[in-house]
Chain A
Amino acid sequence: MRRQLVLRVVAKLLIPYIVLFALYVQFHGDFGPGGGFQAGVIAAAGVIFYGLIYGLADARKVVPDWVVEAMLGTGLLVYLGVGVLGLLLGGNYLDYFVLARDPVEGQHRGIFWVEAGVGITVAGVMLKIFYMFGARGTADE
């Protein structure tokens, strides 16, 4: 019981910073190491950490199943949507130059949304795989 108490307190202290670091890595990926993949995995790792310490049922209350499944599809749709937006605004598919008045600003905007889409999908997939493996074990026996 004493060991569990230490784990619970340390988890409560660390998890907000893990999620904050994931957001930092996502949006600061243009100027330092980082980007969509790393941020998605770190965010999923924070929630997996919560699920390991407090139990899968509590993790499911914090991030419900429908949210995770929505994340799976939404990220990919955001990526595809940026491509279609390039088509609608007069350029080629996934053309970033037409997304804003200034081409470099358009590139910046395109890269931002594309990395956001990638981060959402990767976080959703990692979390969904963890939920699936966890759910398979509790329904047995």
Chain B
Amino acid sequence: MIINVLLVLMALAVIAIDRARNLFAVIVLSGSYSFLMATVLVALDAVDVGMTEAAVGAGVSTVLLLAALHLCRSEEAKPAHQPWLPLAVAAACGAVLVYGTFGLPAFSDPQAPIHTHVVPRYLGEAVRETGVPNVVTAVLASYRGYDTLGETTVVFTAGAGVIALLRRRKKRKDASR
């Protein structure tokens, strides 16, 4: 399937990000990785999520990384020693996770537990109760409105945090601290 091909391409992009030492190349590769992720999400019928990932991951995220790179102006140094211990730790985590996936339902199984409980009600009643055909918007704004309120607060707090960190004070003549 096209999804498997795209997943293999994403794996290749991540390996390239790990090996590259020029940070500009790393950022461009991460932008292309986000674009591939958005394509996979659309192929998985998640059109809202794909649009958001394309705009946020491949757009704003890349711009912010490039702005930070321009301010920091460096390239990654040569690693001092071979990273065998992190590789072993990551491989061990991966092995445990793969062992965990044996208990998961197969891909696109209609009897999977995720399709029971609340979702048939959302899909069946959303148009009748809210008048909005896009079920994702109905769930986001109406059925789970509190979560969206919390998330808007998180976004606002992130903006306030960046203002607090990067605000320019008036420069003083004497040495600070």
Contact = CB atoms under 8 A, between A and B. Distances in A.
Does chain A touch chain B in the assembled complex, meaning CB atoms less than 8 Å apart? yes
Interface stretch (B23-31, B76-84, B89-97, B140-148): B140-148
Contacts of B137: 29-30, 34-35, 111, 115
A117 B153 CA distance: 11
A117 B128 CA distance: 24
B131 A105 contact: yes
B152 A33 contact: no
Nearest to B166: A132
Contacts of B166: 132-133, 135-136
A71 B166 CA distance: 19
Contact of A121 (B47, B52, B156): B156
Contacts of A98: none
Contact of A111 (B55, B132, B159): B132
Interface in B83-117: none
A34 B51 contact: yes
Contacts of A80: 149
Contacts of B59: 41, 45
Contacts of A35: 48, 134, 136-137, 140-141
Interface of B: 47-48, 51-52, 55-56, 59-60, 63-64, 67-68, 70-71, 128-134, 136-138, 140-142, 145-146, 148-149, 152-153, 155-156, 158-160, 162-163, 166-168
